[in-house]
């Protein structure tokens, strides 16, 4: 039955123990997904390891050790976001990527900076909830099975005790139990998946509306639902569904019933406070140009001043409780083409003591990006076509040719880093991706000649290159 297979991988997955990884090993893990950028990997690996070290200190000393926030400086597509995202996944930390340019100064219409902490808490709650589900999943599945069996096979009319049964009643009860266990086996093997059952589901009658306030739509909206939920209440409705769909619904209900919601909020807040990572992208967009005293730059400086207390350490009110931001790790990133980190207000600069300049990607880097990472583009496209019975084989010369064209277009047009490989690969494989399973030849070899044939006219025509690649 699909529902059982669905839950097995999560139960069997063995997470990495971060305590056992030193900075060198953390860099090696990041190397599986990001090519080059050793300086950036080294900086984030040290920051991550310092968190582990801090947790081993006395409480008084640990309180004094502040995270060493990082600014990654480099053009788009060189791996800034990917390094931060993989770092968070490696450490199983709540991670939020947010563009600094989306925020507005207090008093202007738009998102306030505290919303990033509320969003991070929601991510932390989801992570902890999923872990708590893992703890109770086995019991939840058994409870859901029993509820489903009650729907498929009505329970025995009354409880039977051996010492008080009427003649033959005990044997009838035993037969009923045997039948029920046979049904349970059929339920687990999927033989009953297509049968229809009626299940009682909860329906929320709370009306949908939004209120705009300085606290943000997302926060006030949820609090209003919490306060008025009892007024509008909810109602139950019987819905007909297949057994496998019904089992998923019942398991979700049982999981929600078995977890401790108070512990959920406490654990989520603790994880966010001590392990949370916020990736502030496009921080260069809020840097104030030197000498400007009016226009949009004034608001940008206001956004910086609003961000400052969050990075320095403050307490933010969320629906799950008060959250301190003192030990959240902030990784900022920006291209800084027309500005520099020194254009940020001095107080904010001081809260990002580590600055790492990212390396521009060369043709050789593109070759490695196409082949080395575990999620390399060549591997992705090969796997995609295998789903339709088509086997792709790339010659080494073809891979180098793709890398050459990507580097060439980046030099002659806008440099978008490794993202250029997406457009190049789509153009090279356009016909193959379109025809897919209709292809007569299921074994396709991509050669350098094929790559040049697909791209030569586009690359040589500057107008075509500008709009297609």
pLDDT at residue 15, as a whole number: 52
The chain-wide mean pLDDT, for the chain, equals 80
Residue recorded with tokens 């939020």? 96
Q: What percent of the chain has pLDDT over 70?
A: 79
Tens of pLDDT, residues 354-377: 899 988 888 899 999 999 888 889
Dihedrals phi, psi of 11, to nearest 5 degrees: -75, -30
Whole-angstrom distance, CA of residue 423 vs CA of residue 418: 10
Question: According to DSSP H, which parts of 233-345 are helical?
Answer: 243-258, 261-275, 296-312
Q: How many CB atoms sit inside 10 A of residue 353's CB?
A: 12
pLDDT of residue 458: 74
Biggest CA pair distance of the chain? 99
- Which H or E run contains 280? strand 277-281
CATH superfamily membership of 2-124+267-357: P-loop containing nucleotide triphosphate hydrolases (3.40.50.300)
SS3 per-residue string spanning 5-57? HHHHHHHHCCCCCHHHCCHHHHHHHHHCCCCCCHHHHHHHHHHHHHHHHHHCC
Q: What is the DSSP letter of 282?
A: T
What does the DSSP assignment read for 206-249? PPP-----TT-HHHHHHHHHHHHHHHH-EEEEEEEEEHHHHHHH
SS3 82: helix
CA atoms lying within 13 Å on the CB side of residue 431: 11
Asked whether the CA dihedral 310, 316, 319, 321 is positive or negative, the reply is positive
> What is the 8-class DSSP label of residue 111?
B
Strands (E) across 291-411 are located at: 315-318, 321-324, 329-334, 354-357, 391-394
Position 13 scores a pLDDT of 45
Query: Would the pTM of this model clear 0.85, i.e. be above it?
Result: no
Query: What tokens were used for 270?
Result: 């603790």
**Parts of the chain with a pLDDT under 50:** 1, 8-13, 209-210, 212-218, 220-221, 293-296
Separation CA 7–CA 66 (nearest Å)? 39
> How high is the pLDDT of residue 55?
85
Topology adopted by domain 363-468: Helicase, Ruva Protein; domain 3 (1.10.8)
Q: For the range 19-23, what are the long-range contacts, defined as Cβ-Cβ under 8 Å and sequence gap of 24 or more?
A: 19/52, 21/49, 21/90, 22/49, 23/48, 23/49
**Domains of the chain, residue spans:** 2-124+267-357, 363-468
CB 249 within 8 A of CB 93: no
Q: Could you tell me which residues come within 8 angstroms of residue 414 by beta carbon, excluding any fewer than 6 positions away? A: none
Say what the alpha-carbon torsion angle 42, 47, 53, 58 is, to the nearest 10 degrees.
160
Nearest to 313 by CA among 288, 350, 286, 285: 350
CA distances (Å), 199 to each of 70, 145, 236, 247, 344, in order? 52, 13, 10, 10, 58
**129 CB-near residues (< 8 Å, 6+ apart):** 259, 264, 268
pLDDT at residue 223 in the model: 53
Nearest alpha carbon to residue 162 among 153, 151, 152, 171: 171
Q: What tokens were used for 161?
A: 């005790």
- Burial track 123-148 (b if 16+ CB lie within 10 A, e otherwise): bbbebbbebbbeebbeebbebbbebb
Q: In whole angstroms, give the CA distance from residue 449 to residue 402.
A: 11
Buried b (16+ CB within 10 A) or exposed e, 361-377: beeebbbbbbbebeebb
């Amino acid at each position: 039955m699909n529902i059982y297979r669905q839950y097995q991988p999560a139960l069997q997955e063995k997470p990495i123990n971060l305590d056992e990884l030193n900075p060198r090993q953390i860099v090696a893990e990041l190397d599986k997904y990001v090519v080059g950028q050793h300086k950036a990997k080294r900086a984030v690996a040290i920051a991550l390891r310092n968190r582990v070290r801090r947790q081993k200190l006395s409480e008084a000393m640990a309180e004094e050790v502040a995270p060493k926030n990082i600014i990654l400086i480099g053009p788009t597509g060189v791996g800034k976001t990917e390094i931060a995202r993989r770092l968070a996944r490696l450490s199983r930390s709540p991670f939020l990527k947010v563009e600094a340019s989306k925020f507005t100064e207090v008093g202007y219409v738009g998102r306030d900076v505290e919303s990033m902490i509320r969003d991070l808490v929601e991510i932390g709650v989801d992570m902890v909830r999923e872990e708590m589900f893992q703890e109770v999943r086995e019991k939840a599945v058994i409870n859901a099975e029993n509820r489903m069996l009650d729907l498929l096979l009505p329970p025995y009319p009354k409880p039977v005790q051996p010492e008080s049964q009427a003649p033959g009643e005990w044997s009838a009860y035993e037969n009923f139990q045997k039948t029920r266990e046979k049904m349970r086996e059929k339920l687990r093997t999927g033989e009953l998946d297509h049968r229809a059952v009626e299940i009682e589901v909860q329906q929320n009658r709370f009306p949908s509306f939004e209120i705009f306030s300085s606290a943000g739509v997302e926060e006030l909206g949820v609090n209003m639902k919490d306060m008025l939920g009892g007024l509008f209440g909810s109602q139950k409705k019987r819905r007909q569904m297949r057994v496998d769909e019904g089992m998923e619904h019942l398991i979700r209900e049982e999981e929600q019933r078995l977890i401790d919601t108070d512990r959920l909020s406490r654990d989520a807040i603790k994880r966010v406070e001590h392990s949370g990572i916020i990736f502030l992208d496009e921080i260069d967009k809020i840097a104030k140009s030197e000498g400007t005293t009016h226009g949009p730059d004034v608001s940008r400086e206001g956004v910086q001043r609003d961000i400052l207390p969050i990075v320095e350490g403050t307490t933010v009110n969320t629906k799950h409780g008060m959250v301190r931001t003192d030990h959240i790790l902030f990784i900022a990133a920006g291209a800084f083409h027309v500005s520099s980190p020194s254009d940020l207000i001095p107080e904010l600069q001081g809260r990002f003591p580590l600055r790492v300049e990212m390396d521009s990607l060369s043709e050789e880097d593109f070759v490695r990006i196409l082949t080395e990472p575990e999620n390399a583009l060549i591997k992705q496209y090969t796997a995609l076509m295998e789903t339709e019975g088509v086997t792709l084989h790339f010659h080494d010369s073809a891979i180098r040719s793709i890398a050459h064209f990507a580097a060439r277009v980046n030099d002659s047009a806008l440099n978008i880093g490794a993202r250029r490989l997406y457009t190049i690969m789509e153009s090279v494989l356009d016909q193959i991706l379109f025809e897919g399973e209709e292809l007569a030849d299921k074994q396709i070899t991509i050669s350098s000649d094929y790559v040049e044939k697909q791209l030569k006219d586009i690359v040589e025509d500057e107008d075509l290159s500008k709009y297609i690649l």
